Chain A
Amino acid sequence: MKRDRLLSLAPFVGLALVILLIPLPLTVKPVTHVVTMTADQFAFDPPVLRVNYGDRVRLTLQATDVVHGFYLDGYGIETRVEPGISQQIEFVADQIGKYRFRCSVSCGTLHPFMIGELVVNPNLTFARAVGLTAVILAGTLFYLRRFPPREPREHTTA
């Protein structure tokens, strides 16, 4: 019986694995993005960078008020930028998905929440998460429909 229950979920597990693991082609032709970004208490401008996989990003960072930092999650890039002295960062967007960049130098009250986003398309991470949500919910509902709990209806009020 338990085996039947587990086996009934096999198609959903299989589908989830396909969504999670299937390699998809990343065929967009790489370009170079030249961006001037300002860091100002407590936001980056532009707040969101959208690029494609393989693109080169040439970033000029400028601090307009106090000393700020720039740390890019997942890429491990970090630099410090002082007012009046711009910093250049260059990297290839070789990891798809959304990565936060954040101020890494204590710059004032909202410093921990001075955050921006780098979105490297195609954002398969998000697409896979959405797919997984659909499959896992479908699997849960299928399981509940096919194998309802055996507990008695203690509080039936209908």
Chain B
Amino acid sequence: MGYRFELTRSKWLKALLKSRVFQPALMLVTLFFFVVAILAGFFGTPAGSHNFGIIFVWIVWWALLIIVLVPFFGRMWCTICPIPGPGEWLQRRGIIQRTPGRPRSLRWRWPRRLRNIWLQNFGFLAVAIFSTVILTRPGVTAWLLLGMMLLGVTLSIFYENRVFCRYVCPVGGFIGLYSLTSSTELRVKDVQVCREHTTKDCVIGTEHSYGCPWMVFPGNLERNTYCGLCTECLKACPKDNVALNLRPFGTDLLVAKGRSLDEAYKALIMLACALLYSGVLLGPWGWVKDWANMATLPQWAAYAAGFLAINLLVVPGLFWLTTAVARRVGQIQLPVKRLFIDYAYSLVPMGLIGWIAFSFSFVFVNGSYAVSVLSDPFGWGWDLLGTRSVPWTPLLPGLVAALQVALLLVGLVFSSIIAYRIARQHTRTDVQAWHSTLPVSAFLAGVTLVFMRLYLG
């Protein structure tokens, strides 16, 4: 279990989280910025570096998400994300107070075959192959944001609860996986209390709260992946049995229950994408950027085919081989597929840290655009805060590489330790576990060196 510190012991925090105003108020704030981003995309300047939609979505929001929220607060972005807001409010026929009766929808059943994150994996890849275009063109970003919101609303008409967040949202997929590493969790204090409590208010809802919109029973919650931190269960529980805890990083990575191939692939896809983006976007090769930027359709098709092949075949294939060797040297009796799935969770810290390292490269260098864009979000010549003329000023460009090396080394150590502890779940002796860890550590070291080659070599 490890160390836990219950944050909700603080009366003011608990009162805040139990308040029905808390979540909608934050969602309304983010919805305002979301709408500004969409409007800036459609009606603002096409120059990305002077457009609120590009700078605040792909630099400010992205940095906040991947560097702060996910590692420290898990799915906290999902608490305040505006995308599912309109759909959810439509279902509930209200924004703040609990409206009587069951949320309205056509109550279709989400197909059993899609009750996993495969859709999110393919959705992420679909966005990723267009990412060079999306990241640099305000209009395309606006269409993407609007499209996601419309999809959320549409799904909320047909399906109850947050089907969009749980099974479709391409961002939610990786936030869920990476929240396994985070230092915050929402859990029940005593599982036995939940077992004996027959009314299950957290699932069904009460007069003042809704049943879990993420379709999770908090009493069974052992991992952060599918808990959207909406805090409805905290509001509903009459036994005061739900808590928000601080805990050691990576705790959930050792929970064997719930590991699956879709999540394993998500770990591999995210790792491969971090490497590919580091090469394509931050590398010196103009022709790759041209291909990714859809200079011609055949070139983009070749780029997309290569991108998908690396994500779906090459990196998973190399990791499969690594796992097969690990199985052999560790004398593990499990099928390779099972071990492939389990060991993939050791890639989660490396992947998250790889994304943070990648993000440092452009957040530090291009973050200063945010200051001028705040004053002139549409690029129309406004000067709302008097900061429009603040020049582009790269922040610590000479220090970024050192920070990246330090981060990658932390990721290597963290992931190797997780790999060893996963190995111990499948071996009889510590020596077998150690032997089995060696190939996985070699794979992780290889990934680290590729990152370093791209950043420093």
Which A residues have a C-beta under 8 Å from some C-beta of B?
Answer: 40, 42-45, 47-48, 71, 73-74, 95, 97-100, 102, 104, 106, 108-117, 123, 125-126, 129-130, 132-134, 136-137, 140-141, 144-145, 148-149, 151, 153-158
CB of B390 within 8 A of chain A? no
- Are B428 and A158 in touch, CB under 8 angstroms? yes
Q: Are A97 and B366 touching (Cβ within 8 A)? A: no
Given known A-B contacts A148-B424, A155-B256, A115 and B401 have beta carbons under 8 A apart: no
Picked from B46, B430, B456, the residue with its CB within 8 Å of the CB of A98 is B456
Closest A residue by C-beta to B404:
A129
Contact residues on B (Cβ < 8 Å of other chain), bracket = 35 or more
CB neighbours (8 Å) of A71 from chain B are 394
Query: Is A158 in contact with B333, judged by CB distance below 8 angstroms?
Result: yes
Q: Is the CB of B426 within 8 A of A157?
A: yes
What would 13 more interface pairs be, CB under 8 Å, given A73-B398, A126-B452, A133-B449?
A42-B293, A98-B456, A109-B136, A111-B136, A115-B284, A133-B408, A133-B412, A133-B448, A136-B413, A137-B416, A145-B434, A156-B428, A157-B333
Interface of B, helix, strand, loop or mixed by DSSP:
helix
Task: Identify 10 residue pairs between A and B in the complex whose beta-carbon atoms are under 8 Å apart, listed by A's number.
Answer: A43-B284, A48-B284, A106-B47, A110-B132, A110-B289, A133-B448, A137-B413, A141-B437, A144-B416, A156-B425
B428 touches A109 (CB 8 A): no
Cβ distance B111 to chain A, nearest Cβ, rounded Å: 30
Most chain B C-beta atoms within 10 Å of own C-beta, residue among A112, A151, A157: A112
Measured CA separation A75–B279 after assembly (Å):
23
Interface residues of B (CB under 8 A from A): 46-50, 132, 136-137, 256, 281-287, 289-290, 293, 332-334, 362, 365-366, 392, 394, 397-398, 400-401, 405, 408-409, 412-413, 416-417, 420-421, 424-428, 430-434, 437-438, 441, 444-445, 448-449, 452-453, 455-457
- Who on chain A is nearest to B422 by CB? A155
**Which residues of A have CB within 8 Å of B366?**
112
A-B contact count (CB 8 A): 150
Do A109 and B426 form a contact, CB below 8 Å, given A71-B394, A73-B397, A158-B334?
no
Closest 8 A/B residue pairs (Cβ): A43-B286, A47-B284, A73-B397, A74-B398, A148-B430, A155-B425, A155-B256, A109-B136
- Residues A123 and B456 in contact, CB atoms below 8 Å apart: yes
Q: Is the CB of A141 within 8 A of B438?
A: yes
A137 to B434, CA, bound (A): 13
B456 and A129 within 8 A (CB)? yes
User: How far is it, in angstroms, between the C-alpha of A120 and the C-alpha of B247 when the chains are bound?
Assistant: 44
Residue of B nearest to A42 (CB): B289
The residue on A at minimum CB distance from B283 is A115
Q: How far is the CB of A156 from chain B (nearest CB, A)?
A: 6
A133 to B427, CA, bound (A): 27
CB distance from A62 to the nearest CB of B (A): 15
Task: Please determine whether A116 and B284 come into contact, CB atoms closer than 8 angstroms.
Answer: yes
C-alpha spacing A61/B251, complex, angstroms: 53
Residues of B within 8 A of A155 (CB): 256, 425-426
> Are B397 and A74 within 8 A (Cβ)?
yes
Report the separation of the CA atoms of residues A106 and B379 in the bound assembly, to the nearest whole angstrom.
13
Interface centre among A74, A133, A136 (most CB of B within 10 A): A133
Known: A48-B284, A126-B457. A106 touches B49 (CB 8 A): yes
Instruction: List the B side residues contacting A117 at CB < 8 Å.
Output: 284
**How far apart sit A158 and B423, CA to CA, in the bound complex (Å)?**
10
B424/A132 in contact, CB under 8 A: no
Please measure, in the bound complex, the distance between the C-alpha atom of A13 and the C-alpha atom of B431, giving whole angstroms.
24
The distance in angstroms between the C-alpha atoms of A104 and B392, with both chains bound, is 8
Q: How far is the CA of A40 from the CA of B75 in the complex (A)?
A: 42
Tell me which residues across on chain A come within 8 A of B405, comparing CB atoms. 129, 132
- Contacting residues, chain B, for A156 (C-beta < 8 A): 425-428
The complex places the Cα of A104 from the Cα of B394 at a distance, in Å, of 10
A123 to B448, CA, bound (A): 17
Bound: A129/B274 CA distance, A:
19
Set of chain B residues within 8 Å of A48, measured between Cβ atoms: 284
- Find chain B residues with CB under 8 A from A74 CB: 397-398
Given A44-B284, A112-B49, A133-B449, the answer on whether A141 and B441 have CB atoms closer than 8 Å is: yes
Q: A73-B398, A137-B416, A144-B434 are in contact. Are A109 and B137 (CB under 8 A)?
A: yes
